[in-house]
Structure 1
Amino acid sequence: MQIKEWAARASVRQWCLLGLLMCCFMMAVALYLQYGVGLEPCPLCIFQRVAVISAGVFFLIGAIHNPKHWGGIVYGILALLAVLAGIGVAGRHVWIQSLPPDSVPSCGPGLDYMMDMLPLWDVMSRVLSGSGECAAVEGSLWGVTLPQWTLLGFVVMGVIPVALLIARLKRGASSTRAVGHAS
C-alpha cells in the first residue's frame, strides 16, 4: 500500500497514534539529553516540552476516542494549535540563539522562582522574551543546535494533524456528495 493510499484510508486513531509516537520520541530525546547527558533545560526548552506534551494529550485522546466524523477535525485542530505553539517557541529560541552576544537579553530569575512569585501571564511573557541562558548553545548534532532540531521536530509533527484534517475534510466532502446524489 502506498503512503498516499494509506493516508486517504487511515482512521483518526491511526493518525493520532502516529502523532503520539512522534511526541513520545521528542520527549524521550529531551529526557535523555537532560538525565543521560546532563543538559539542563532552559525556560524556553521547558515551554517547548509543554507544547509537545499538549499535542501528545490531544493525540492520545483522539486515539482513544477514534471519532468517525467531525471529532477527528476537532482533535486535528487542537493538536495543530499545540504544534504551532511549539513552532513559535522553538522559532523564538532559534532566533535568540542567533543574536550577537551583545544583543542577548540578560539572564533573569529562574523559572521556579518566577512561577512562585509572578502571575502565569507575566511568567509566560518573561520566558518568551528570552534570557541569556536561552541564548547559550549547549550542544549540536551535525552543526544543528538543539532548538533547531526541536523546531524541525515540530514542523514534522505538524504534518500529522494537517494530513488528518485534510483526510477528514475530504472524507466529509465525499460523504456529503454521496448523500446528495442519493436524494
Structure 2
Amino acid sequence: MQAIKRIWAGLLARPRRVNLAGAVICSGLVGVAVAIEVFADMPPCPLCVFQRVAFLAMSATLLVGVVVPGRVAGLLTAAAGVGGLSLAGRHLWLQTLPEDQIPACGPGLDYLLGVFPLTDVIAMVLSGSGECAEVHRVLGVTIPAWTLLGFLVLGLFFLIFNWRARPSRHP
C-alpha cells in the first residue's frame, strides 16, 4: 500500500508530464484503431469514427492539462470521456439487437458529410446503421467494448488525477 501511495505522490508532483503521457496514450489508441483498420481489413463504421474523434478530444483536453493542470483539465477530459463512453455504449447496444431490429445500412460517412449539415449527420450516425451492428473482435472482445473500457479507465483516472494535482510553476 505504501508503494502505491509513493507512486501516486510521484505522479501528482508531475501533472504536466502525466497529462502529456495521457494525450499520447489517447492519440496512440486512435493509431491502433487505424492500424486495425488497415492491417486487419476492418473498415470503421460511423460510430467507430466518432469514437476516434472522442479519443482525440480527450487527447486535446489532456494537452490543456499540460499547459494548465488542474480541475478544469480533469473536467474537460472527463466530459470527452463521457461522450466517448456514450458512443461506445450505443455501439454495443446496436451490436446486441436481434437481426430483425438492426437498422438498415445507410450511405457512408463521407457521403453524409458532403450532402447534409453536420447536425443532421450527427443525428443520423447516432441513430446507427447496419454496419455499426457488425461485430469485430480483437483478442476475443468487441472493439466497442475495448473503447468503452478505455474511455471509462482514462476518463476516471484523469478526472481524479487532475482534481488532486497541484499545478507547479515549472514544467
Provide TM-score, normalisation by structure 2. 0.87
CA drift of 1:160 comes to 2.3
Q: Aligned match of 2:150 in 138, 150, 153?
A: 153
Q: Distance in 2 between matches of 1:101 and 1:10?
A: 52
In structure 1, the residue corresponding to 2:43 is in which secondary structure? coil
Unaligned runs of 5+ in 2: none
- Following superposition, the deviation at residue 37 of structure 1 comes to 1.5
Deviations 1:48-100 (A, max 9, x none): 0000001101112322x1x3xxx521111111111110000001000100111
> Which residue of structure 1 lines up, in the alignment, with residue 5 of structure 2?
4
- Does the 8 Å CA contact 1:18/1:160 hold for their aligned counterparts? no
Identity %: 44
RMSD value over aligned CA atoms?
1.9
Q: Which has the higher contact order (CA 8 A, sep 6+)?
A: 2
Query: Which ranges of 4 or more aligned residues in structure 1 deviate by more than 6 Å?
Result: none
Name the structure 2 match of 1:93: 91
| 1:1-50 deviation line (CA, Å, top 9, x unaligned) | 73333334333213312321320331121011012222100000000000
Contact 2:74 2:158 (C-alpha < 8 Å) held by counterparts: yes
| Structure 1 stretches lacking a partner, 5+ long | 173-183
Shift of 1:140: 3.8
Q: Number of paired residues?
A: 164
Q: Normalized against structure 1, the TM-score is what? A: 0.81
Check whether the contact 2:81–2:151 (CA below 8 A) recurs between aligned residues: yes
Question: Rg bigger for which structure?
Answer: 1
SS in 2 for 1:2: helix
